[in-house]
Amino acid sequence: MYSGVIPKARSNATLTTIAYSKDHAQIACDSQTTDGSVIVSNTTKKWFNTRCGSRVFSSGGTLDIYAFEQHYKKGAVLPATMSLVKYIRITPGRVFYGEVKGGVLKEEALTTSHAIGSGDKYAIAGFKLGIDAQAAVQLSSELDPQTNDNINTFCTKCARTIENCCCK
């Protein structure tokens, strides 16, 4: 357990940790929502399912994430005033990284492990040590005050929770 000084979140941080481990075929996310330094919820669902069968994990401002979700679910236009939303999208067997800003969406296939949010650097350091996505988010929760240890983990091969994975 880390016992040193916890750094403050970056001023324009996306306050969560979402980690994708290519080596372990996992994606994991915490469940904390904050408003500045105030914890609003410890049980936030950080993903949504799309009409085409993808599961999208996103990090950014609450209203921007809502607009982004409406775009995916209902075909709504992305607002030009939208701030940065980063996301990782999984379809069974494929994983994509994307960003949305100012109404423009850019997405590409992920070919390496990756993490987004305020705890991203800790998760990526964990991947360098060989840990899986769930352990990477756990590590981030110990070092990043904007990430909690209420972790949801999914298999990227079948897009189900690890507990219900059919790939074992």
> Which is more confident, 21 or 38?
21
**pLDDT, tens digit (0-9, with 9 covering 90-100), for 49-60:** 988 889 999 999
Q: What is the pLDDT of residue 168?
A: 65
Rg (CA), the chain: 15
Class of the CATH-defined domain 24-163: alpha beta
Q: Is 125 helix (H, G, I), strand (E, B) or coil?
A: helix
Q: Mention every residue, 6+ apart, whose C-beta is less than 8 A from residue 113.
A: 19, 20, 21, 22, 23, 124, 127, 133
| pTM for this model (two decimals) | 0.88
What are 83-130's pLDDT values in tens digits? 999 999 999 889 999 999 998 999 999 999 999 999 999 999 999 999
Residue ranges per structural domain of the chain: 24-163
pLDDT (0 to 100) of residue 35: 79
d(CA 149, CA 146): 10
